[in-house]
Amino acid sequence: MNTEQASKEAGEVPEVNDDPSLPGKATSARQSPLRSRRIAVRIFIGYLLPLLFFLIAGLVLPYLLTSALGRVVRDYAETASFVDNAYALRRSATDSKNELRGFLLYNDLSFRQQFGRSRGEYRQRFRGMQDFVNSKQNNTLDAQLNIADGTYRRWYTKFATPEFAAADRALLLRSPTVSLAAANRSENGFRGVNTSMNRLVAVAEAYREQQLRRARVSE
């Protein structure tokens, strides 16, 4: 009978070695933290990561959609303003033509003053339209705007400027026949301006319809 058997028969309890430096204890001690880390990783991947994803999606996606929709709405509002300016530009050009005619027929300085106001309105509208076209870099709008403005400028240089200069130099009033002939020449010369301005308005309207369709798609 060996010592262990003798101890059991004597009712003695065998010694339990709690020294963690022994091989069995060291392995058990290392495995416990590893299992804890694995559990933590599983919890993160299985629960926290999807939660984080949905949280980010819930915050970022509405912001992106709102920003995109806001940009479309802003673009349409700017386009509508451009169309309004196109109508106003045409109206200012036509007003200046009518005021020159009134000045030539009646030699009334109030027509000349009104002509100056219409010219100022024209320049203001043109600058606003030019800024819009430059920001959009739209070749079609840019080309038609320059054509319309160039046609009007040629009319102004050929008819309005010489007639006002002649009135400033004249010592005597023109005869009604001469005044009517000058007014008719100006009227005929303005036909090209009418055509180019109408074309500008049509192109602006077409561009607005394009932006409106884009805004509806984004809704």
pLDDT of residue 64: 47
Structural domain containing residue 109:
79-218
In a domain, 142, yes or no: yes
pLDDT of residue 35: 66
pLDDT of residue 181: 96
The model's pLDDT over 160-170, given as tens digits with 9 standing for 90+, comes to: 999 999 999 98
In a domain, 23, yes or no: no
Question: What is the mean pLDDT for each group of 10 consecutive residues in the chain (219 residues)?
Answer: 48 50 50 62 59 58 52 79 97 98 95 97 96 92 97 98 92 89 96 98 94 72
pLDDT of residue 10: 47
What is the Cα–Cα distance from 47 to 73, expressed in whole angstroms?
A: 39
Number of domains observed in the structure of the chain: 1
Q: What is the CATH number of the domain that holds 183?
A: 1.20.120
In a domain, 161, yes or no: yes
Buried b / exposed e across 130-166, counting CB within 10 Å, b at 16+?
bebbeebebeebbebbebbbebbeebbeebbeebbee
What is the Cα–Cα distance from 203 to 136, expressed in whole angstroms?
A: 14
- Answer positive or negative: Cα dihedral of 63, 68, 73, 77: positive
